[in-house]
């Protein structure tokens, strides 16, 4: 498989590709991929959701670093609600320098309980169609770069086959 975009080479592309070809169960592959991405992005929290097109709901496939009390909240997210829901609805990345002080209204009130500052969430696409979302976040205030956004989208494209039921 070639890189998702010829000009885009995610620094851990080969590592992710090797993980995805390991033949492990989906849950293990996604957890390993998410851990690798969090290290790459120097981030402490991350989520991978798949889009159930029938119910217009995002369903949690993998997460790392979220407080246990939020797992019920993020396990199912309506399209259009919250950061991941906006990403799925608009088919474009959403980023915030500091979720704790965000006043745009995109982040839901419970999102502050994550303790996340900087956050980036991108659509996971297969053949141009949104099949899920991939998000990373860090406890510090941080503005993810355009290059990091491109890299996370490339990672999402690699993960797309695992984000369909």
Q: How confident is residue 132, by pLDDT bands cut at 50, 70 and 90?
A: very high
Q: How far is CA 69 from CA 59, 62, 65, 72, 74, in A?
A: 17, 16, 12, 7, 10
Mean pLDDT estimate for the chain: 82
Tell me: pLDDT of 105 over 60. no
**24-71: pLDDT as tens digits:** 898 999 999 999 999 999 899 999 999 998 889 999 999 999 888 888
- pTM attached to this predicted model: 0.85
58, 85 contact by CB (below 8 A): yes
Q: Give the residue extent of every domain in the chain.
A: 13-162
> Considering the domain 13-162, what is its CATH architecture?
2-Layer Sandwich (3.30)
20, 158 contact by CB (below 8 A): yes
**Across the chain, which distance is largest between two alpha carbons, in Å?**
43
């Amino acid at each position: 498989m070639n890189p998702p975009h010829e000009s885009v080479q995610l620094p851990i592309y080969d590592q992710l590709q090797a993980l995805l070809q390991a033949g492990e169960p989906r849950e293990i592959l996604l957890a390993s991929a998410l851990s690798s991405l969090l290290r790459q992005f120097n981030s402490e929290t991350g989520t991978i959701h798949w889009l159930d097109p029938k119910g217009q709901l995002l369903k949690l496939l993998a997460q790392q670093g979220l407080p246990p009390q939020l797992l019920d909240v993020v396990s199912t997210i309506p399209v259009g609600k919250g950061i991941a829901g906006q990403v799925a609805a608009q088919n474009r990345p959403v980023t915030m320098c500091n979720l704790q002080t965000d006043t745009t209204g995109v982040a839901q009130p419970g999102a502050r309980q994550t303790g996340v500052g900087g956050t980036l969430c991108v659509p996971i696409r297969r053949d141009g169609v949104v099949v899920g979302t991939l998000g990373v976040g860090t406890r510090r205030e941080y503005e993810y770069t355009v290059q990091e956004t491109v890299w996370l989208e490339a990672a999402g494209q690699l993960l797309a086959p695992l984000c369909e039921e």
